[in-house]
Structure 1
Amino acid sequence: MIKVAVTGAAGRMGRLIVKNVVEDEELELVQAFDVVNVGKDAGELAGVGKIHVPITHASELELKLSSDVLVDFTTAEAAVNNICVAAKKGVKLVVGTTGFTEEHWKKIKDCCRVPAVISPNFSVGVNVFWEIIRVAAKMLSNYDVEVLEMHHRFKKDAPSGTALKAVEIIKEVIGDRETVTGRSGICPRSDEIGVFAIRGGDVVGEHTVFFIGMGERMEITHRAWSRQAFAGGAIKAVKWISKVEDPGIYGMRDVLGI
């Protein structure tokens, strides 16, 4: 069995990852870390009953981490530290945390000397969405491009990592354009990509990329209404990375073979 530890185990995604690990016959949850609900049973928090794996305070990660794979859904600052700790201990990684800055990425690349899947979105559908965008950008390279994303009112980063990944893919295909996050006043459009974020309610995640030409437009949309879409993909990534021996940062394209 693949031994799994989870950081952010008491959070929305963390609890769902715990549930998926516990219910998968190929996986064993051996550790759970967070800064809240310390001492409580991770299984009970996840709604799967007592599993005798208590939440350990995240500050003890370096001292106590011992697993085959660490799954991280925390915050950008915390995740950088967790990635470096895991790499130091030779523990493979699956990281779904978003909001990384350029400085964060520099630290991650410097210390990540183990196989790691790092992705802003583990949903299989979103990864297909990105591939469709890649094809559309190639065919509609002279069209104006806008990106709209919507999430629940508690999401900490904006624009979302999924939206920024979409922009990155488009720029790879059509060349660099300025990224504009919001417009106001008198602002005639230039050669740019507009990215807009909506926050409200309990929206799990919606992303639309608009390719707008003269007399027509194409809208490519992905909607998630359950976080299970992300958790299921993360579990695929855990199983895949457990078999990878070459150190490096991988994405869901590698996991899915697309």
Structure 2
Amino acid sequence: MVRIIMHGCNGKMGQVITRLAAEDGNCQIVAGIDTFRGIENTYPVFDNLKDCDVEADVVIDFSNAKAVDGLLEACCEKKLPVVLCTTGLSEEQLQKVEDAAKETAVLKSANMSLGINLLMRLLKDAAKVLAPAGYDIEIVEKHHNKKVDAPSGTALALADAINETQDPQYAYCFDRSQERKPREKREIGISAVRGGTIVGEHEVLFAGEDEVIEFKHTAYSKAVFGKGALEAAKFLAGKPAGRYEMSDVISF
């Protein structure tokens, strides 16, 4: 049984993971970290990780960027592995993540979904075959109307996964509206759609002569990210210090 400390336990994702962990027979949340106390939990909640005296195997973090510095410091002191899911970290904080990985196990990924990370692996294999054959590559991502960044970080991660297999690499094309010319052969087009309450949809097309191969992932709720975080926590528990990715969790 993997014992987990939920950092940011009373946030939306913290509560999603609390519910998922209660239904999982292989892990248990033994403590939470949150300054907000308006939610009743079945485990003790502390203001910060340094004050937490509950024995645990790993920390899952879904909090905010301001809390990450203190979290990393405490994880290094306690030698606690941490699944870092908070986004929007500064360049300085990203360096602290790398430094922390020298002291304890740290897993950080652009997207915690098991499906998205499996898709990245499949795209690498597909690109090795289809890109040299001249297939055009396009990515279309769709999100809710409140999302401010475009394209999504996940869309860029998918494009990067394809490009890892290419030499020379493809250029990224984000907007063709100002161009009146045929698409370049060695480019990946990335288009963003914003509307309604779409949680997240990513489609990758390899378009060739008289055929199209499509890869698609649709997230219907944020629970997919919570499930991925739990699987990452079970993977990371007991691992030596180092920097890990979701690709390590689904390795085969």
Please say if residues 150 and 198 of structure 1, whose CA atoms lie closer than 8 Å, have aligned partners that are also in contact: yes
What amino acid sits opposite 1:166 in the alignment? L
Equivalent position of 2:111 in the other structure: 121
TM-score (norm 2): 0.82
Identity %: 34
Equivalent position of 2:160 in the other structure: 168
Say if 1:61 and 1:169 are closer, same or farther in 2 by CA, change over 3 A.
same
Offset at residue 106 of structure 1 (A): 2.7
The superposition leaves residues 107-153 of structure 1 with CA deviations (integer Å, 9 ceiling, x where unpaired) of 31122221122222333322221122111111111333222212233
Please say if residues 100 and 106 of structure 2, whose CA atoms lie closer than 8 Å, have aligned partners that are also in contact: no
Offset at residue 39 of structure 1 (A): 1.6
Equivalent position of 2:76 in the other structure: 87
Structure 2: which 5+ residue stretches go unaligned? none
Equivalent position of 2:189 in the other structure: 194
- 1:121-160 to 2 correspondence within 5 Å? 121-141=111-131, 142-155=134-147, 157-160=149-152
Equivalent position of 1:22 in the other structure: 22
Paired residues, number = 245
User: Take 1:80 and 1:137, find their aligned partners in 2: how far apart are those partners?
Assistant: 38
Equivalent position of 1:220 in the other structure: 215
Q: Find the residue that maps to 1:234 and give its secondary structure.
A: helix
Say if 1:103 and 1:88 are closer, same or farther in 2 by CA, change over 3 A.
same
Equivalent position of 1:53 in the other structure: 44
TM-score (norm 1): 0.80
Equivalent position of 1:181 in the other structure: 174
Equivalent position of 1:48 in the other structure: none
1:211 aligns with 2:194: no
What amino acid sits opposite 2:21 in the alignment? V
Say if 1:120 and 1:19 are closer, same or farther in 2 by CA, change over 3 A.
same
Say if 1:151 and 1:88 are closer, same or farther in 2 by CA, change over 3 A.
farther
User: Take 2:13 and 2:82, find their aligned partners in 1: how far apart are those partners?
Assistant: 16
Out of 225, 228, 237, the residue aligned to residue 242 of structure 1 is 237
Offset at residue 77 of structure 1 (A): 5.4
User: Take 1:83 and 1:199, find their aligned partners in 2: how far apart are those partners?
Assistant: 34
Please say if residues 207 and 223 of structure 1, whose CA atoms lie closer than 8 Å, have aligned partners that are also in contact: yes
Question: Cα RMSD over matched residues?
Answer: 2.7
Structure 1: which 5+ residue stretches go unaligned? 44-50
User: Take 2:129 and 2:175, find their aligned partners in 1: how far apart are those partners?
Assistant: 26
User: Take 1:187 and 1:107, find their aligned partners in 2: how far apart are those partners?
Assistant: 45
Say if 1:154 and 1:89 are closer, same or farther in 2 by CA, change over 3 A.
farther
* Runs of 4+ that moved beyond 6 A: none
User: Take 1:173 and 1:52, find their aligned partners in 2: how far apart are those partners?
Assistant: 45
Q: Find the residue that maps to 2:79 and give its secondary structure.
A: coil
Please say if residues 201 and 219 of structure 2, whose CA atoms lie closer than 8 Å, have aligned partners that are also in contact: yes
What amino acid sits opposite 2:250 in the alignment? L
Offset at residue 16 of structure 1 (A): 0.7
Q: Find the residue that maps to 1:173 and give its secondary structure.
A: coil
What amino acid sits opposite 2:201 in the alignment? E
